[in-house]
Amino acid sequence: MAKELVTDFYQSDALRNTETLNRFLHDEMEFHWYSSKGFLKMNKSDLIDLSNEMNRSYLSSRIQFSHILQEDNNVSVRYTYYVTPIESPTEEMILAHFMTIWEVKDGKLFRGYQMSQLS
């Protein structure tokens, strides 16, 4: 079930849709993100704000998985995130490469640990 939840989360385009995102995130969710720009610790509200920003900046997005692994209630996913910027609607580009570990609790995403590298 946990692997299916994480797969559904990324395939739903929840990162650009706050209503969908809200369905997947546990109310007490924490997200630890190590990016090429530094460390961020985010909660559910922060991720919803990021989703709103993504929706304003990109016409579309898609994810290409390379790995999805599950152990108990933890799911690791490695993927590339593609976006189509509003400024260039005919050009899809790679935004970044990600490696994320999700802990699932009560059928929702509870703890996330992510590393990313801009393309």
Q: pTM of this prediction?
A: 0.92
| Averaged pLDDT, 28-45 | 96
State the CB neighbour count (10 A cutoff) for residue 80.
15
The total number of structural domains in the chain stands at: 1
Q: What does the pLDDT read at residue 43? A: 98
Two structure tokens written together for 71: 């152990």
Q: What is the largest CA-CA distance in the chain?
A: 42
Domain of 82: which CATH number?
Answer: 3.10.450.50
Judge whether residue 16 has pLDDT over 90. no
Judge whether residue 15 has pLDDT over 90. no
- The residue range of the domain holding 57 is 2-118
State the CB neighbour count (10 A cutoff) for residue 31.
21
Q: Are 95 and 66 in contact (CB under 8 A)?
A: no
Per residue in 52-102, pLDDT tens? 999 999 999 999 999 999 999 999 999 999 999 999 999 999 999 999 999
Q: Which 3 state secondary structure label does DSSP give 73?
A: coil
